[in-house]
């Protein structure tokens, strides 16, 4: 079961932030502590994005069901 996503969640902003993290992780001289911090943040963003997509899918399914029942 998915978690509820904050109503202020912005998928595109989260994707941009995740892209930025991935770019940062490609740097050669990045301290291990920062790698771990960025990795944790990336996991959180990925989870939030997956939950958002799941909630969106469920909303679309409900809309379709209402449309077909009318």
Which of helix, strand or coil describes residue 8? Answer: coil
pLDDT for 26: 94
Q: Return the domain boundaries, the chain.
A: 11-69
> What length is written for the chain?
70
Contacts of 41 by beta carbon, 8 Å cutoff, 6+ apart: 17, 21
Q: Virtual CA dihedral for 59, 60, 61, 66, nearest 10 degrees?
A: 90
pLDDT for 67: 86
Residues of the chain with pLDDT under 50: 1
* Pair of tokens at residue 30: 């990045």
CB 50 within 8 A of CB 5: no
């Amino acid at each position: 079961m998915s978690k509820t996503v904050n109503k202020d969640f912005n998928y595109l902003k989260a994707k941009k932030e995740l892209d930025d993290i991935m770019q940062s992780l490609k740097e050669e001289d990045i301290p291990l502590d920062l790698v771990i911090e960025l990795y944790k943040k990336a996991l959180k963003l990925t989870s939030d994005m997956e939950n958002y997509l799941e909630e969106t899918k469920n909303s679309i399914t409900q809309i379709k069901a209402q449309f077909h029942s009318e």
